[in-house]
Amino acid sequence: MAGRGRGRTQFTFNVDSLGFGRGEALPASALVPSPLFPPLQFRPVPLPTGEEVDYMLALKQELRASSKILPSHIRPGRVKIDVDRYSDKYQSGEPKHSAVEWNPDWSRLPRELCIMGPKTRKAKARPPLKHKVKTTTAKELVQKLETLEKNEKNQSEGEEDEEKKKTGEEEEESGEGEDYDEEEFEEETDYIMSYFDNGEDFGGDSDDNMDEATY
Amino acid sequence: MTAQEVRLCALLLQEHFGEVVEKVGTHLLRSGALNLRALVKKSLCVLVQHGMCTFGPGRRGPAGPLEYRVSCERILYMLRYPRYIYTAKSLYGDTGELVMEEILQRGQMTMSNTVRTVADRLTQNMEDGQSTDYNDVVTAFSRLVETHFLQRFSEVPESPVGGKGGVQMKMVTWVQELQRKPNWSTQRWESRAVHTHLCECIYPQHQPLRCNSTPPALSPQACGDEGIYWQVNVERFHLHFRHQAIISAVASKLDQTSSEIVRTMLRMSEVTTPANAAYTQAVSANEIFRAVPPSYNISRPILDQYLTLLVDDPMEFVGKAGDSGGGMYVVNLHRALANLARATLESVVQERFGSRSARIFRLLLRKRHLEQKQVEDFAMIPAKEAKDMLYTLLSENLVQLQEIPKTPDHAPSRTFYLYTVNQLPTARLLLQNCYKAVGNLIDRRLFETKENKRHLEKSQRIEAILGSLQASGAEPAQLAEVEEMITAPERQQLEALRHHINKLDSSENQVDETIFLLESYIKSTSCSR
């Protein structure tokens, strides 16, 4: 008996501390994982109320709302919904931010983060190029004129005038090139930018007391 | 950084800075330090601007690519912004509040920008015809700097990124100089005065901008302080919050007068005590007597009695450090924090598992190691229930089991099993639970907003229409018609939604207070080691 008991019925630890006797039924084994939201035994204490709490709540909500307008809130690029459209090329991808432009102090950030750099360089490169072009064309034209004067003194005055007018026009053009509306000149199309509006903004600003359903 | 912290950071970043920044931030958090190739530059700029990301020479040395490191702590502090702003408001009024709000939202700003923006905002809110004097805003700003709530933003990429604090300037001379200048009604500043003194106070590594003897004529837009950025000194705010917690604990345990005494002691030793010290500098009873506000009318012997009471209190907030000067007293900061954390743990157990489990928990905290039988006896709880509660606490990991073998073969019948509670690991566990809780709260709020997006948009549109109608002076009949566009059940739904979101937001603020306490405690233990 003792031998048989030793092998089978004797546990290696003190059974009393388990809370159930040897002969009693073991607690039922769980066949499912424990519930995701187990029922609460005690209800949580209610939130504190008071002026301070309300004020901080208002502050928090205001902070959240205003941080969405700030330039540091970066929206992901527009996802293409369906087919590529021709107008996509001429619509700016980023929505225009609020009046506050974001100009961090680039001297405090590492140079490799400076994405605006190339863009500003491009913009700056264009006018100097134009200037150079202007000066070269002006110089070349002046030289041309001189040579033409020298070589072809018999040319009619009209042609010379025409050339001068042309140079004048070209100078004006290159001077006015910067003055053209960005909309019209930037992308070198023949259409103004509003041509490419696809009507999304139409009707959204109506202040009239229109009925929603029109028959 | 644990998974819960990363998740919470992701949600916070997404809310304030958009999805792109969130992805970048979480990627960095998960992978430690990375160089530039994998990342979006703009979001990095945003993070650096707000002081959450630092960069420096990478593993390959100064010649290699720069490495960026995101600070998890700094992102989690975003939860506490409303508290910072509210503190600034209570200390320095509306102007201080607006200054703090501007700087918190932009990360770092120059003083001139801040003053201009805040003055504009104040003018908008005031009646027509009045305008804010720039002087008020400047005063508020300089007071914030003097009390170290604002600090210079430490900068320059090439210098090693050491230490979290910026340089805390002795702005006294500068502020005095500014206030001596008479013509503050003009919008443009006396650039020369600002110049010379800023050059004097300038951080040694920083190249001073135009520090010649003859400053060039500045346009009205450019004031003399380009390149000098200010940020919020969160450590100082945390110190303030810690002191507030200690004072309110003393007030609730003893009485108002003792809390005033402790407040006086803390105020006196604020400037001289180093940041993470375990004790404040000792102050003598004579000094305390002189410094206590006169409205309390405490006589000298009564003050002595109060001090003895405070020293003898088992909470051990105040300790006696010597006898000179009528008795030298210190405030035990670390011990106070430990006690506050312990009280938090106990109350968490009480609210989740009931007061009897809390009794067992407190018992184990005090007696350290107890056997199961001893627990039942000391707690005076019947055996079966005590077992049940102990096992529940054990399964939640709030209580640990320690084995002490009698024999080398660890036979279970010949081993002692002792239950124990370790305060520090339990505090860490609860802190992670808090992070998870806030993450869940934010998730739920986003879910609720998304579910009711259509309703919200409709109500916003109608409000906009109403506003424009009122501005253009429409008849009340038209207004009523527009208001009727929202049906009554929709209105109810919107009301319920607003109520839920307010509750969730308020809970976030509340959990953040617990987070602050537990974080301070954990940090204090790591400092003292």
- pLDDT tier at B344, thresholds 50, 70, 90: very high
Please judge whether A64 and B16 are an interchain contact, meaning their C-beta atoms are less than 8 angstroms apart: yes
Residues of A in contact with B478 (CB under 8 A): 209
Q: At residue A180, does pLDDT exceed 80?
A: no
* Whether B469 contacts B482, CB under 8 Å: yes
- pLDDT tier at B421, thresholds 50, 70, 90: very high
- Cβ–Cβ contacts within 10 Å for residue B365, how many? 18
B466 or B88, higher pLDDT: B88
Q: At residue B243, does pLDDT exceed 50?
A: yes
Question: How many angstroms separate the CA of residue A41 from the nearest CA in chain B?
Answer: 7
Q: At what angle do helices B488-528 and B333-353 cross, to 10 degrees?
A: 140
Most confidently modeled of A150-159, B150-159, B253-262?
A: B253-262
Q: At residue B48, does pLDDT exceed 60?
A: yes
What pLDDT is recorded for position A212? 54
What pLDDT is recorded for position A78? 52
Chain-wide mean pLDDT for chain B?
A: 77
Q: At residue B10, does pLDDT exceed 50?
A: yes
B64 or B461, higher pLDDT: B461
Average pLDDT over residues B384-402: 90
Q: Which of A74, A109, A212 lies at the smallest CB-CB distance from B43?
A: A74
Average pLDDT over residues A198-209: 57
Please judge whether A60 and B41 are an interchain contact, meaning their C-beta atoms are less than 8 angstroms apart: no
Q: At what angle do helices B3-31 and B41-49 cross, to 10 degrees?
A: 120
- pLDDT tier at B428, thresholds 50, 70, 90: very high
B85 or A3, higher pLDDT: B85
- pLDDT tier at B227, thresholds 50, 70, 90: low
Average pLDDT over residues B236-248: 91
Average pLDDT over residues A181-201: 61
pLDDT digits (tens, 9 = 90+) for B323-341: 888 888 888 899 999 999 9
Average pLDDT over residues B496-519: 92
Please judge whether A67 and B105 are an interchain contact, meaning their C-beta atoms are less than 8 angstroms apart: yes
Q: Which of B19, B352, B372 lies at the smallest CB-CB distance from A17?
A: B372
pTM for this prediction: 0.70
What pLDDT is recorded for position B251? 92
Closest by Cα among B71, B76, B106, B85 to B12:
B76
The lowest-confidence range among B9-18, B77-86, B203-212 is: B203-212
Please judge whether B229 and A108 are an interchain contact, meaning their C-beta atoms are less than 8 angstroms apart: yes
What pLDDT is recorded for position B457? 87
Q: Which of B82, B107, B481 lies at the smallest CB-CB distance from A209?
A: B481
CA–CA dist B368, B372 (Å, integer): 13
Beta bridge partners of B68: B34, B55
Residue B341, CA atoms < 13 Å, CB-side half-sphere: 28
Q: Which of A19, A48, A108 lies at the smallest CB-CB distance from B510?
A: A48
B85 or A36, higher pLDDT: B85
Residue of chain B whose Cα is closest to the Cα of A10: B413
- pLDDT tier at B176, thresholds 50, 70, 90: very low
Judged by DSSP in three states, A121 sits in helix
- pLDDT tier at A175, thresholds 50, 70, 90: very low
Residue of chain B whose Cα is closest to the Cα of A17: B372
What pLDDT is recorded for position B5? 66
Please judge whether B354 and A42 are an interchain contact, meaning their C-beta atoms are less than 8 angstroms apart: yes
B189 or B458, higher pLDDT: B458
Q: At residue B182, does pLDDT exceed 50?
A: no
Q: At residue B56, does pLDDT exceed 70?
A: no
Please judge whether B81 and A63 are an interchain contact, meaning their C-beta atoms are less than 8 angstroms apart: yes
How many residue pairs bridge chain A and chain B with CB atoms within 8 Å of each other? Answer: 130
Q: Which of B42, B478, B508 lies at the smallest CB-CB distance from A115?
A: B42
Closest by Cα among B145, B121, B149 to B134:
B121
What pLDDT is recorded for position B41? 66
* Whether B167 contacts B230, CB under 8 Å: no
Residues of B in contact with A207 (CB under 8 A): 465, 468-469, 472
Question: How many angstroms separate the CA of residue B300 from the nearest CA in chain A?
Answer: 36
Q: At residue B195, does pLDDT exceed 60?
A: no
CA–CA dist A72, B43 (Å, integer): 8
Please judge whether A56 and B509 are an interchain contact, meaning their C-beta atoms are less than 8 angstroms apart: yes
Residues of B in contact with A52 (CB under 8 A): 86
Residue of chain A whose Cα is closest to the Cα of B386: A19
**For residue B176, how far is the Cα from the chain centroid?**
31
pLDDT digits (tens, 9 = 90+) for B34-46: 444 434 666 667 7
Residue of chain A whose Cα is closest to the Cα of B477: A209
Please judge whether A56 and B86 are an interchain contact, meaning their C-beta atoms are less than 8 angstroms apart: yes
Average pLDDT over residues B203-214: 33
- pLDDT tier at B129, thresholds 50, 70, 90: low
The lowest-confidence range among A6-20, B243-257, B296-310 is: A6-20
Q: At residue B209, does pLDDT exceed 60?
A: no
Please judge whether B15 and A67 are an interchain contact, meaning their C-beta atoms are less than 8 angstroms apart: yes
Q: At residue B127, does pLDDT exceed 80?
A: no
CA–CA dist B515, B434 (Å, integer): 6
Residue of chain A whose Cα is closest to the Cα of B56: A110
Residues of A in contact with B512 (CB under 8 A): none
Q: At residue B228, does pLDDT exceed 90?
A: no
CA–CA dist B55, B39 (Å, integer): 13
pLDDT digits (tens, 9 = 90+) for A75-119: 655 555 666 667 666 665 444 444 345 566 666 666 665 554 444
B159 or A85, higher pLDDT: A85
Please judge whether A12 and B413 are an interchain contact, meaning their C-beta atoms are less than 8 angstroms apart: yes
Please judge whether A113 and B44 are an interchain contact, meaning their C-beta atoms are less than 8 angstroms apart: yes
**Quick one: three-class SS letters along B203-258?**
CCCCCCCCCCCCCCCCCCCCCCCCCCEEEECHHHHHHHHHHHHHHHHHHHHCCHHH
Q: At residue A166, does pLDDT exceed 60?
A: no
- Cβ–Cβ contacts within 10 Å for residue A119, how many? 10
Please judge whether A108 and B42 are an interchain contact, meaning their C-beta atoms are less than 8 angstroms apart: no
Q: At residue B390, does pLDDT exceed 80?
A: yes
Please judge whether B42 and A109 are an interchain contact, meaning their C-beta atoms are less than 8 angstroms apart: no
Q: At residue B3, does pLDDT exceed 50?
A: yes
Question: How many angstroms separate the CA of residue A46 from the nearest CA in chain B?
Answer: 10
Share of chain B above pLDDT 70, in %: 74
- Residue to test with chain B: of A49, A51, A56, A212, most B Cβ within 10 A: A56
pLDDT digits (tens, 9 = 90+) for B453-499: 888 888 888 888 888 888 887 677 777 777 777 788 888 888 999 99
Residues of B in contact with A115 (CB under 8 A): 41-42
The lowest-confidence range among A29-43, B155-169, B348-362, B439-453 is: B155-169
Report which DSSP code applies to A91.
S
Judged by DSSP in three states, B169 sits in coil
What pLDDT is recorded for position B200? 37
What pLDDT is recorded for position B289? 87
Tokens of B445: 């709020």
B159 or B137, higher pLDDT: B137
What pLDDT is recorded for position B202? 33
What pLDDT is recorded for position B357? 92
Residues of B in contact with A19 (CB under 8 A): 384, 387-388
A24 or A35, higher pLDDT: A35
- Residue to test with chain B: of A41, A108, A212, most B Cβ within 10 A: A108
- pLDDT tier at A12, thresholds 50, 70, 90: low
pLDDT digits (tens, 9 = 90+) for B405-414: 888 888 888 8
Average pLDDT over residues B390-404: 90
Beta bridge partners of B328: B284, B322
ipTM for the predicted complex comes to 0.73
Q: Which of A42, A104, A113 lies at the smallest CB-CB distance from B352?
A: A42
Q: Vertex B111, ends B269 and B153: CA angle to 5°?
A: 60
Residue of chain A whose Cα is closest to the Cα of B46: A72
